[in-house]
Amino acid sequence: MNFDSTSPRPGPEPPANAGANEPQHGRRLYERFPIDAQLQICWEEGKGLRRQIRARTIDVSKMGLQVESERAIATGTVVTVFSAGFSPIGRASVRHCTQKGMGYRLGLYMPDRFVDDL
């Protein structure tokens, strides 16, 4: 989809598998940068039950983080992210959580990070 001021010209629809070989970052709005940093993620479940897990950052972009953890967190959950030394980084919402091997990959939407460089 084109968001500039010109309208796209009508044409045939691309095949269903178009872009299947295109790298994932080609469809992203913001470039991702690989990073390997330890984090602490905290959130509440149910009636005030507080949870906390360690996670490892895989990459970072202008609007969020991709992390790996040993535990799943429900999509839509609002979490607080801290550095390994418990310095606050900011609040995020879980956009996706998928199983990867023995762990989980989480996409965290975090446009207002307190720390630019993890």
Domain ranges of the chain: 31-109
Q: In sequence order, what are the residues at sequence separation of 6 or more whose Cβ sits closer than 8 angstroms to the Cβ of residue 42?
A: 50, 51, 52, 79, 80, 82
| pTM higher than the cut 0.75 | no
Which residue type, as a one-letter code, is found at position 22?
E
Rounded-to-5 percentages of helix, strand, coil across the chain: 5, 45, 50
In the predicted structure, residue 36 carries a pLDDT above the cut 50: yes
Each residue's pLDDT tens digit, 51-109: 999 999 999 988 899 999 999 999 999 999 999 999 999 999 999 999 999 999 999 99
Q: What is the mean pLDDT of residues 9-24?
A: 44
Read off the tokens for 80. 């607080």
Share of the chain above pLDDT 90, in %: 58
Q: What pLDDT does residue 28 have? A: 60
| Residue 79 to residue 104: CA distance in whole angstroms | 16
In the predicted structure, residue 15 carries a pLDDT above the cut 60: no
Q: Which CATH superfamily is domain 31-109 in?
A: predicted glycosyltransferase like domains (2.40.10.220)
Q: What pLDDT does residue 114 have? A: 55
In the predicted structure, residue 40 carries a pLDDT above the cut 60: yes
| Residue 88 to residue 70: CA distance in whole angstroms | 21
| Residue 90 to residue 112: CA distance in whole angstroms | 7
Q: What pLDDT does residue 9 have? A: 41
